[in-house]
């Protein structure tokens, strides 16, 4: 399904587009993105190893009446499928990989999904302009696969990857979506107006104890007693398990994840079109550059407060040309004693182990 790409087109590559997240996210992109594209042409390049799946998704979405165009790419259709999908992409979204089944942790997906993400990272290094592209990693375990992606880009494009760690983002936004939803459920009859959704920052990583919801920073926090707080925190940390259990072997969160990813992608599109000079949000990012120096101004101060964890989901500021330009280390100065003394100490050692696993695999690509 070839399609000419205009030079001012914003090309978005979706790798794993035939999957549960890939399909729902592609639908949201095709139906909703025009409102955020500032009159720029958007093209969706859909890639999957499931050839029938991705052909079908692209054909189906091509009947949706928006000006966003699509192409389908699969290795069964062309040896250059991945190159054709990635070339000139400004944004690469990666929901490619295997989801959990009941009884599994996200870490159990590491071996298989690290291979997939490592292979895709090698292709991104080869075909994308690393000084321009943004890479958003959705596949699990995010805590390890973002280091895999960053190290793969370094190893595969030694001359072109300076600063690329500032352009690779682990997508943990579903944790914020859940925290907001669960707090809203909890407070709905106690606060006015009940149609306003709370904002709850969630930092750390994206797996169990590494997920650190900061309910103390929500304006509704006065409605939460300590015992309720602990169960809200636990529900956010293990919210993914609720879906895995309900789907009973048919996968994990796809619809809520597509919603969360869309919220993120639309902001990146605003940045890419120039409608926004900077965007901010909580992303799982590298705090060190390739030389082992702090990757951005706030990184050194954040590292000092998180026991040297070299990747962390924290509020960051992003520009189109530089990627992450700052991280808000000050957020840790505002959190409650419970969050600082109970939640962070459980998060940090587990996060470090996952980061190390990812860095080790990534450097051997
Ligand atoms: P899925 O199995 O429905 O879809 C995955 C797709 O990836 C499939 O279509 C498959 O063919 C494709 N794929 C596999 N190997 C590939 C490769 N080498 N290149 C391109 N495509 C490839 O799974 P899903 O439910 O969409 O979940 C995808 C991933 O996202 C899982 O790892 C899951 O754990 C993760 N996830 C992350 C979050 C988060 O908050 N970050 C939330 C939900 C799910
Ligand atoms: C989630 O949080 O729903 C995802 O990370 C998928 C999972 O495995 O739980």
For residue 294, the number of C-alpha atoms closer than 13 Å in the C-beta half-sphere is 14
Fold category of 9-172 in CATH: Rossmann fold (3.40.50)
Cβ(99) to ligand 1 under 6 A? Answer: yes
Binding residues for substrate: 100, 106, 140, 178
For 121, residues 6+ apart whose C-beta sits below 8 A from its C-beta are 148, 149, 152, 153, 156, 362, 365
> Which pLDDT score is estimated for 24?
98
> Which tokens sit at 62?
């091509």
**Ligand 1: which of 50, 97, 143 to mutate, judged by most atoms within 8 Å of the beta carbon?**
97
Please tell me what DSSP assigns to residue 90.
S
Question: Predicted ipTM?
Answer: 0.99
Binding residues for NAD(+): 16-22, 48, 113, 138-140, 257
Instruction: Name the residue among 98, 93, 96 with its Cα closest to residue 128.
Output: 93
Minimal-distance CA residue to ligand 2 atom 8: 100
> Which pLDDT score is estimated for 14?
99
For residue 150, the number of C-alpha atoms closer than 13 Å in the C-beta half-sphere is 33
Is residue 327 within 8 A of residue 316, CB to CB? The reply is yes
Quote the ligand 1 centre to 81 CA distance (angstroms): 18
| Angstrom distance (rounded) from CA 24 to CA 127 | 26
Minimal-distance CA residue to ligand 2 atom 1: 240
Strand 311-319, strand 323-327: pairing: antiparallel
In the chain the first and final C-alpha atoms are separated, in Å, by 32
Instruction: Name the residue among 118, 126, 309 with its Cα closest to residue 205.
Output: 309
Minimal-distance CA residue to ligand 2 atom 4: 240
Provide the residue ranges of all domains of the chain, joining segments of one domain with +: 9-172
**Ligand 1: which of 15, 18, 21 to mutate, judged by most atoms within 8 Å of the beta carbon?**
21
> Which pLDDT score is estimated for 196?
85
Altogether, the residues listed in the chain come to a count of 365
**Ligand 2: which of 172, 243, 256 to mutate, judged by most atoms within 8 Å of the beta carbon?**
243
> Which pLDDT score is estimated for 187?
87
For 136, residues 6+ apart whose C-beta sits below 8 A from its C-beta are 91, 92, 93, 94, 169, 171, 261, 264, 265, 268
CA-53 nearest atom, ligand 1: 9
Instruction: Name the residue among 342, 346, 335, 347 with its Cα closest to residue 221.
Output: 335
Active site residues: 206
Mean pLDDT by 10 residues, the chain (365 residues): 62 98 98 95 98 98 98 97 98 98 97 98 98 98 98 95 96 98 87 79 98 96 90 98 97 98 98 97 98 95 96 98 98 97 98 96 74
Binding residues: 16-22, 48, 100, 106, 113, 138-140, 178, 257
> Which tokens sit at 284?
């799982």
Is residue 271 within 8 A of residue 318, CB to CB? The reply is yes
Count helices and strands (H / E) in the chain. Answer: 12, 11
> Which tokens sit at 88?
């000139």
> Which pLDDT score is estimated for 2?
43
Quote the ligand 2 centre to 318 CA distance (angstroms): 25
């Amino acid at each position: 399904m070839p399609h000419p790409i205009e030079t001012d087109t914003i090309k978005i590559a979706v790798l794993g587009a035939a999957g549960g997240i890939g399909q729902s996210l592609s639908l949201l992109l095709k139906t909703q993105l025009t409102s955020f594209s500032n009159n720029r042409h958007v093209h969706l390049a859909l890639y999957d190893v499931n050839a029938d799946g991705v052909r079908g998704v692209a054909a189906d979405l091509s009947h949706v009446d928006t000006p966003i165009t699509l192409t389908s790419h699969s290795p069964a259709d062309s040896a250059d499928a991945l190159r054709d999908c990635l070339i000139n992409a400004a944004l690469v979204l990666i929901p490619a990989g295997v989801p959990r089944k009941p009884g599994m942790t996200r870490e159990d997906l590491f071996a298989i999904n690290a291979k997939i993400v490592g292979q895709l990272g090698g292709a991104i290094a080869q075909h994308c302009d690393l000084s321009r592209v943004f890479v958003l990693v959705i596949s699990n375990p995010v805590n390890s696969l973002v280091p895999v992606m960053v190290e793969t880009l370094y190893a595969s494009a030694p001359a072109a990857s300076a600063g690329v760690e500032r352009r690779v983002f682990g997508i943990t936004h579903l944790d914020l979506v859940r925290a907001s939803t669960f707090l809203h459920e909890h407070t709905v009859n106690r606060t006015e107006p009940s149609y306003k959704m709370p904002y709850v920052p969630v930092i750390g990583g994206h797996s169990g104890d590494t997920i650190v919801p900061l309910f103390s920073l929500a304006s509704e926090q006065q409605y939460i007693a300590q015992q309720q707080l602990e169960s809200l925190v636990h529900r956010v940390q293990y919210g993914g398990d609720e879906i895995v259990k309900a789907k009973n072997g048919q996968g994990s969160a796809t619809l809520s994840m597509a919603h969360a990813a869309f919220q993120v992608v639309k902001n990146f599109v605003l940045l890419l079109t120039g409608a926004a000079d900077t965007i901010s949000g909580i992303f799982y990012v590298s705090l060190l550059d390739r030389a082992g120096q702090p990757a951005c101004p706030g990184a050194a101060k954040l590292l000092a407060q998180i026991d040297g964890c070299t990747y962390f989901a924290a509020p960051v500021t992003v520009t189109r040309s530089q990627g992450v330009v700052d991280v808000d280390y000050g957020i840790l100065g505002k959190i409650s004693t419970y969050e600082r003394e109970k939640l962070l100490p459980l998060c940090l050692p587990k996060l470090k182990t996952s980061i190390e696993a990812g860095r080790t695999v990534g450097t051997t690509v």
